[in-house]
Structure 1
Amino acid sequence: MVTNKQRHLWAFLAGLACVMWGISGLFAKSLFNLSSEITPIWLTQIRMVVSGFVLLLVAGIVRQKPIATMKNKHDAGIIIAYGILGLLPVQLFYFITVQKANPAIATILQFIGPFFVMGYLIIRHQQTLRRLDLLAAITAFIGVALLATHGDFSHLAITPEVLMWGMLAAIGVATNTLIPINVLQRVSSLVVTGWGLLSAGICLTIIHPVWPHIRLTAQVWLSVAVVIVIGTLIPFQLMTNSLRFIKASTASLLDAFEPFSATIGSVLCFGLIMTPLDWLGAVLVVIAAMALNITPKSKNKIE
């Protein structure tokens, strides 16, 4: 039986995981600022290959049979699709948005992802659109509009290119959520994520095999290590294990710590200027995304 003390502890750790994701975006931005040779593709390759290898190594140590999983052709196909169509776009397009804008904008735009999930469920499974879902979608649209214009609709405060990459990252969030649903009911999330990361990283390396001429200073090593360890390995384990002690809806609410930690960090570290309307837009997007996790009253509503 789960005690209140355990719930509080794991709720804190889940929130800490979200803060770590936000912080990793700041270190990615610092890497991009160091040299034009450090690209989102290179950072994504390094992050995916190393993280995938480490997760599979851990899965093997705890006897979750990572090799045996890939002998099942059906599961292997889904896991590879999850990596290439889910994990790859959500990470690569996020880093591109970070490079071209900042971690705050990238993370907030990524929060639009649940609305693409909602659209898929409505079209593919003919699930009913609740009034709350419609209100949340309108609220999110207003929030993004405020971020994109600073409230002045005669011009854009962020470029159309940044908006495009941010929306593609949000679509990646949706595919990242939807593709592995069935296989995760049979296979450890550690194995699924490990193979997904590794397969996507190898695929990206094959497509773009060029290794940039980067001066590997202590700052570069530190920032890459933070992106891998604090941005992937530790928060993944914290969030996955927390779901044994707290509700998924609680975990989704704690996701709000990610955009706000990225935003505050961008203000403090990179001199990002956020107007009151920018803050309002960010809050509206986060609230709208969290509203989708409110439990529906009937089974035919979006869950």
Structure 2
Amino acid sequence: MTQRHHLRGVLLASTACILWGISGVAASTLFKQNSAITPLWLTQIRMITAGLILLIASQVSGQQPWQVWRQPRTAGRLISYGLLGLIPVQWCYFEAVKVGNAPIATIIQFLGPFIISIYYFLFKHVTPNRSEAIGMVIAFIGTLLIVTHGHLNSLAISPAVLFWGGLSAIGVATNTLLPRPLLPKFGPMNITGWGLLVAGIFLMAMHPLWLVHVTLTWSQWLLLLVIILLGTVAPFLMFAHSLSDILPTTASLLDAFEPLAATVFSVLFLNVQLTSFDLVGGLMIIFAVMLLSMNVRKMMTLLHRRRLDS
């Protein structure tokens, strides 16, 4: 791997994470400008449109998107990925953005890697090492600062933000774990495309899109395109391509750009007011996740050795 390729991978992953952060700010703007737009409606539009774009791109590039449905086992896992992974990580995140704001929702969602670590500890018996344990303590303190602003007898954010943000953080974990066995064989474009489409169709069945009457201005159409193209399709392709140039651990460290971007753009363009507790707590969570990410490869190596020994 040359230095040029490494730099390209870092730039692609960083840009992808920034675009994901911007999509949260764009969604927050839509919710404020148009009361008819709900998180469920926006998620349906985003999932179905982005899923179709990715699958069409996969078909055009000869990646055979229909292969994944030929085996019941892989089809079942793909459906689980869409329903249990993508729905909470996208719909619940937008719900947290609407009842709160993009920076806080993104920071709470950023706790997802710790849920993955807890999963490996409980079900794979992989014990957190010292830096991971320290990271968990720092993340807990940071979350406590955001939630209470230093007053342990009261909440500084609404329970709804905590509820939806917590579900989106769990979604980050399931969104990471469920598709892992499918990605090497079928490719990230196919798996993500089908996952988005399955999730979008399920949400449509739960609450049909046409029951919500939404009239958009030209600027709101533009924000919707930003969320679909720049906030979903483009960053996915960039992040997937970056993994051929940099290690996954490096890419996961660059995830910190997402909450940072959501915070900066919300303050600049939405006049969102964040307290010192929010800023310090958010930085603590970002630092804690970076500590955890630096040990992901060691954790996966240990898990692989245990599988070989069993």
The question of a shared fold, defined as TM-score above 0.5 by the shorter chain, is answered with yes
> Superposition pairs for residues 69-148 of structure 1, below 5 Å?
69-148=68-147
2:29 match: 30
Query: C-alpha distance in 1, partners of 2:87/2:253?
Result: 24
Query: Which letter maps to 1:131?
Result: R
> Superposition pairs for residues 1-303 of structure 1, below 5 Å?
2-211=1-210, 212-295=212-295, 299-300=301-302
Are 1:142 and 1:281, in contact at CA under 8 Å, matched by a contact in 2? Answer: yes
Are 2:44 and 2:209, in contact at CA under 8 Å, matched by a contact in 1? Answer: no
Local SS of the residue matching 1:246: coil
Are 1:129 and 1:302, in contact at CA under 8 Å, matched by a contact in 2? Answer: no
Are 1:118 and 1:302, in contact at CA under 8 Å, matched by a contact in 2? Answer: no
Shift of 1:250: 1.1
Query: C-alpha distance in 1, partners of 2:220/2:57?
Result: 26
Shift of 1:161: 1.4
Query: C-alpha distance in 2, partners of 1:210/1:48?
Result: 12
Query: Which letter maps to 2:162?
Result: L
Query: Which letter maps to 2:160?
Result: E
Q: What per-residue deviation string (whole Å, max 9, x for no partner) do you get for residues 32-74 of structure 1?
A: 1122210000000000000000100000011111122212221
Query: Which letter maps to 1:238?
Result: M
Q: What per-residue deviation string (whole Å, max 9, x for no partner) do you get for residues 217-253 of structure 1?
A: 1122111100000110000000000010011111111
RMSD over aligned CA atoms reads 1.6
Q: 1:287 to 1:152 in 2, by over 3 A?
A: same
2:308 match: none
Query: Which letter maps to 1:218?
Result: W
Q: 1:132 to 1:34 in 2, by over 3 A?
A: same
Q: What per-residue deviation string (whole Å, max 9, x for no partner) do you get for residues 192-221 of structure 1?
A: 000000000000000011532211211221
Are 1:86 and 1:176, in contact at CA under 8 Å, matched by a contact in 2? Answer: yes
Shift of 1:155: 2.5
TM-score of the aligned structures, taking structure 1 as reference length: 0.96
Q: What per-residue deviation string (whole Å, max 9, x for no partner) do you get for residues 259-282 of structure 1?
A: 011011111122222222221100
Query: C-alpha distance in 2, partners of 1:10/1:294?
Result: 17
Query: C-alpha distance in 1, partners of 2:261/2:182?
Result: 32
Are 2:43 and 2:91, in contact at CA under 8 Å, matched by a contact in 1? Answer: yes
TM-score of the aligned structures, taking structure 2 as reference length: 0.94
Shift of 1:301: 6.8
Query: C-alpha distance in 2, partners of 1:302/1:60?
Result: 34
Unaligned runs of 5+ in 1: none
Query: C-alpha distance in 2, partners of 1:297/1:224?
Result: 40
Flag the structure with higher helix content: 2
Query: Which letter maps to 1:246?
Result: I
Are 1:26 and 1:103, in contact at CA under 8 Å, matched by a contact in 2? Answer: yes
